């Protein structure tokens, strides 16, 4: 949520910044709501002052033995009027919050202006041994197969998953299931032992308050699976006043990790807080149309290692670069070609002020595909969660939150299958994963 005091001071400037994100800020509506709030507060202050004045008058007249009947009658009306104003303000504050909840974060000054992915900026690319032939970052002497063909001979069964559940789910067994597990273990070990993150195990189901605080609701309600009374429901129609009994499957463990500081005041000496978790993630992908229906690129259920840092505002952009570097090291350790892309203003996520994407090279598509997003949300999530820190002078301020994929397991598996494939359909196991796979060096096709 944006700072309302900043909106009052710099409404036109913020509206212009939000236009670069393709968002129209209804400035007149905000001014109207804010004016109504001020009027109610002024009326309340006048009545409170009158109540206090009458109380003093009654006391003075009683001390003199004078009649105070008329003053008491007049004062008895005030509590009723104050209660009415309190109810009006409560209703108005809900309208104001609903309005504020719909506004995305403003882009950082370093973010390029643009409306879609074509306006993103490539920052750098990394290639194993710097090899690139005819713009192919990982050239093959044969026509490379895609990950579905490779995976099916190693234990990937999309048809079985489809019969069990529906499209965009996967069933893995044997070698590919072992590779999937090895990736999560390797990433968690790397981030906890080398990068100082604390490993967490989190719920996969959360209530609506948690989703509002982390910025998922109301914006992404249609992209989430809701769970009610044992029933599994997709795209359930629930308004913005969901109670704690309304529960949803998490779309990322960013939700649960940032929520560890919800409603808290953290001592400044406890910062930064660095958390990681590997969890299943569930997304209905309501707006994705027919893209990537085949294979593991876009699934309703997938595992992801998430990185979260909760930091002092002065250090949040340093932390953003650090998290990006931690995600990059996973890909370098796996020796997979990748590039870093700075997203333009119109392509960023709702909560983000600045986002980098990591994209890996997929030989079968001759294209780069996203495998991680790393974002600085500044105080946007913290303000919604009421998450603050207390400095050494006793003052409180909102925390900054940084999140990133470190990495998505399924997409990393895809990148390994395609970049490590051999002409006979076998797949070389990256050296850093072999100890997690019982020393296996090559995954031979079983059929």
Question: Which residues belong to the annotated binding site for L-serine?
Answer: 252, 283, 306, 403
Q: Which residues are annotated as a binding site for ATP?
A: 283-285, 370-373
How many angstroms separate the first and last alpha carbons of the chain?
A: 53
Do the bridges between strand 156-157 and strand 171-172 make them parallel or antiparallel, or are there none, so unpaired?
Answer: antiparallel
d(CA 301, CA 232): 14
Which is nearest to 10 in space by CA: 400, 18, 350? 18
Question: Which CA distances in Å does 115 have to 12, 186, 205, 309?
Answer: 20, 37, 33, 28
Query: Closest Cα to residue 225, out of 245, 251, 255?
Result: 251
CB 406 within 8 A of CB 390: no
Q: What is the dihedral of CA 2, 90, 237, 169, to 10 degrees?
A: 40
Beta strand 396-398 pairing with 247-249:
unpaired
Neighbours of 178 (CB within 10 A): 20
CB-count burial class (<10 Å; 0-12, 13-18, 19+) for 135 = exposed
Q: Which two tokens stand for residue 3?
A: 């700072």
- What residue numbers does the annotated binding site cover? 252, 283-285, 306, 370-373, 403
| 307 strand-pairing partners | 276, 404
Tokens standing for residue 49: 């002052």
Residue 98's Cβ-count burial label (10 Å; 0-12, 13-18, 19+) is middle
Structure tokens at 131: 């090899």
Q: Do the beta carbons of residue 131 and residue 138 sit within 8 Å?
A: yes
Q: How far is residue 222's CA from residue 283's CA, in Å, rounded to a whole number?
A: 9
Q: Is the peptide bond before 272 cis (omega within 30 degrees of 0)?
A: yes
Query: What is d(CA 328, CA 194) in angstroms, rounded to the nearest whole number?
Result: 13
Closest of 225, 237, 224, 281 to residue 257, by C-alpha = 281
């Amino acid at each position: 949520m944006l700072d309302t005091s900043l909106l009052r001071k710099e409404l036109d400037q913020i509206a212009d910044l939000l236009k670069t994100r393709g968002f129209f800020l209804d400035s007149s509506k905000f001014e109207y709501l804010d004016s109504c709030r001020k009027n109610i507060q002024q009326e309340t202050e006048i009545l409170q002052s009158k109540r206090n004045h009458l109380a003093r008058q009654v006391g003075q007249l009683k001390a003199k033995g004078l009649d105070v009947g008329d003053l008491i009658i007049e004062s008895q009306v005030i509590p009723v009027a104050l209660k009415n104003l309190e109810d009006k303000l409560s209703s108005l504050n809900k309208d104001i919050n609903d309005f504020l909840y719909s506004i995305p974060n403003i882009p950082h000054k370093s973010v390029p202006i643009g409306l879609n992915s074509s306006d993103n900026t490539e920052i750098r690319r990394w290639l194993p041994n710097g090899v690139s032939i005819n713009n192919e970052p990982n050239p093959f002497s044969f026509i490379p197969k895609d990950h579905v063909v490779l995976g099916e001979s190693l234990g990937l069964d999309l048809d079985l998953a489809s019969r069990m559940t529906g499209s965009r789910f996967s069933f893995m067994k044997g070698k590919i299931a072992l590779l999937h597990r090895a990736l999560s273990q390797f990433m968690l070990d790397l981030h906890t032992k080398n990068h100082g993150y604390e490993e967490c195990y989190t719920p996969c189901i959360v209530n609506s308050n948690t989703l509002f605080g982390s910025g998922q609701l109301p914006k992404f309600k249609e992209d989430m699976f809701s769970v009610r009374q044992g029933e599994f429901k997709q795209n359930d129609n629930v308004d913005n006043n969901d109670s704690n009994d309304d529960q949803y499957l998490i779309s990322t463990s960013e939700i649960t990790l940032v929520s560890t500081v919800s409603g808290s005041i953290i001592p400044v000496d406890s910062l930064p807080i660095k958390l990681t978790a590997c969890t299943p993630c569930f997304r209905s992908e309501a707006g994705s149309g027919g893209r990537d229906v085949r294979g593991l690129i876009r699934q309703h259920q997938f595992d992801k290692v998430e990185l979260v840092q909760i930091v002092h505002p002065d250090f949040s952009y340093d932390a953003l670069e650090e998290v990006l570097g931690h995600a990059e090291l996973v890909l370098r350790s796996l020796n997979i070609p990748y590039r870093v892309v700075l997203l333009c203003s119109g392509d960023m996520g709702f909560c983000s002020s600045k986002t980098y994407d990591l994209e890996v090279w997929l030989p079968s598509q001759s294209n780069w595909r996203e495998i991680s997003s790393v974002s600085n949300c500044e105080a946007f999530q913290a303000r919604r969660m009421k998450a603050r820190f207390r400095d050494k002078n006793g003052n409180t301020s909102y925390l900054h939150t940084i999140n990133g994929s470190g990495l998505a397991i399924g997409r990393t598996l895809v990148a390994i299958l395609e970049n490590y494939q051999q002409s006979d359909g076998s797949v070389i196991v990256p050296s850093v994963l072999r100890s997690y796979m019982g020393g296996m060096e090559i995954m031979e096709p079983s059929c």
